Amino acid sequence: MTNVFKKKRRVSKKNVFKDMIKVAVHLGHQKNELNPKMRCYILTERGNLHIINLVRTILFLSEACDLIMDAARKRKEFLLVGTKGYAADLIASTAKKTGCHYINYKWQGGLLTNWSTTKEKLERFRNLKQKYKSGLFHRRRTKKEIALIEKQLELLQQYLEGIFYMKKLPDIVIIVDQQKESTAVRECRALGIPTISLVDTNCDPDFVDIPIPANDDARGSVGLILNKLMSAVSSGYNN
């Protein structure tokens, strides 16, 4: 973990253990899927599963919230990434509530590292959407031509809707599933963009700046962690 994150405000511990256990934040993967680097975040074993040490989870969640709140006060921009089916709507809804950008359908390689191309795609998307809404595309065009334009808009909507208003590279990227979103993590590392990510027991915690040991396969677990992080965003933006 880098030393870019220094101050530590603690997430309130009142009922937090109970809430985390209720949504299975502590349940890791099967023992044979363990990444050895995650051993220090494991409390014990239950049957064939590893049990995550929630004391460490709260510690790193606190550190992440501290960083996020300070960044939000400085009006920094955040990008949320999570394309697993169960997490897609959570990513979109929490991002929209807090004014964050998001990717919840599929990460396109080069999204950040080839930012000039991404900006061109976004500009095209904005222009197409504006003209379509105004009705300009319906003039002197056949039904087939209009259908092709609508198909283009649909694809752009799937891939780029969550970053429609993003005009520059994000300042911090928050990731739900480190393994599935490994391309996103690598792009952030290449560009020096700080990353915060849930890391299950099969992940490499050294791959991100702030790893939050947690079950990344359960909707409730992901939702709880996201809510804590987005509360920090809201608090920072409102101060």
- What is the rounded average pLDDT of the residues 201-218? 96
pLDDT tens, position by position, 6-34: 444 445 565 788 999 999 999 999 999 99
Return the pLDDT at 2: 39
Cβ(128)–Cβ(152) under 8 Å?
Answer: yes
pLDDT tens, position by position, 133-176: 877 666 677 888 888 888 989 999 999 999 999 999 999 999 99
Return the pLDDT at 13: 64
Cβ(215)–Cβ(193) under 8 Å?
Answer: no
Give the H/E segment covering residue 196.
strand 195-199
Cα 214–chain centre separation: 14
Give the H/E segment covering residue 156.
helix 143-160
Full-model pTM: 0.90
Which residues pair with residue 211 across a beta bridge? 197
pLDDT tens, position by position, 74-100: 999 999 999 988 889 999 999 999 999
Domains of the chain (ranges, CATH numbers): 16-111+169-237 (3.40.50.10490), 115-162 (1.10.287)
- Cα angle 7, 98, 227 (rounded to 5 degrees) comes to 65
Rounded to a whole number of angstroms, the distance between the first and last alpha carbons of the chain is 28
CB atoms within 10 A of CB 68: 27
Which residues pair with residue 80 across a beta bridge? 102, 174
